[in-house]
Structure 1
Amino acid sequence: MLANIGFPGLILILIVALIIFGPNKLPEIGRAAGDTLREFKKSAKDLTGDVTDEVKEVKTIVKDNTK
């Protein structure tokens, strides 16, 4: 959904945010959004890493049992 916004849509969102929150609050909001996104990506990476580790472990067990 976000990939379909495009440049004009981003400018419109920025203008609306500027009107609603004012120029003083925008850096704080942007920083908070960036921190939230960074934390989400880190959590998703940790979760997929755990699953990947378990898949490797299962593959090792299956490989050892077929010998």
Structure 2
Amino acid sequence: MNFFGIGLPELAVIAAIGLLVFGPKRLPELGKTLGRTLKGFQSASQEFEKEFRSAITTEPEPSASPALPEGSAPATASGEVGSAMASGESATPMA
């Protein structure tokens, strides 16, 4: 048996140290708490993966800005339409 790169002799040493530190009465309680914690992490991970997959499979929402008709240019900073720029006019107002 090999768990996370730890063999059976290493697990036995860890269990013996845990038994000495926590005692025979608290060791099963700690194991149960550890099992519940790992199960909680697993269920949270599965739920996150489920939400992530559902977000990927749904189609993206259309952008907030409307599409411009073909051949028109967006308005410039001064409020003039970009088509004036195409005709050679200046985009900045003259004083």
TM-score range, shorter chain: 0.7 to 0.9
Flag as ranges the 4+ runs of structure 1 deviating above 6 A.
none
Paired position in structure 1 for 2:8: 7
Q: How many residues align?
A: 58
More strand by percentage: 2
Deviation, 1:6, is 1.3
Deviation, 1:3, is 1.1
Taking structure 1 as the reference length, the TM-score comes to 0.80
Measured in 1, the distance between the counterparts of 2:10 and 2:56 equals: 41
Query: Gaps spanning 5+ residues in structure 1: where?
Result: 62-67
**Bigger relative contact order (CA 8 A; separation at least 6):** 1
Q: What letter is aligned with 1:41? A: Q
Render the CA deviation track for 1:34-57: whole Å, top value 9, x for unaligned: 000000000010001100111111
Taking structure 2 as the reference length, the TM-score comes to 0.57
Measured in 2, the distance between the counterparts of 1:7 and 1:54 equals: 42
Query: Gaps spanning 5+ residues in structure 2: where?
Result: 61-95
Percent identical residues: 29
- 1:1-67 counterparts in 2 under 5 A? 3-58=4-59
Root mean square deviation of aligned Cα: 1.2
Q: What letter is aligned with 1:54? A: A
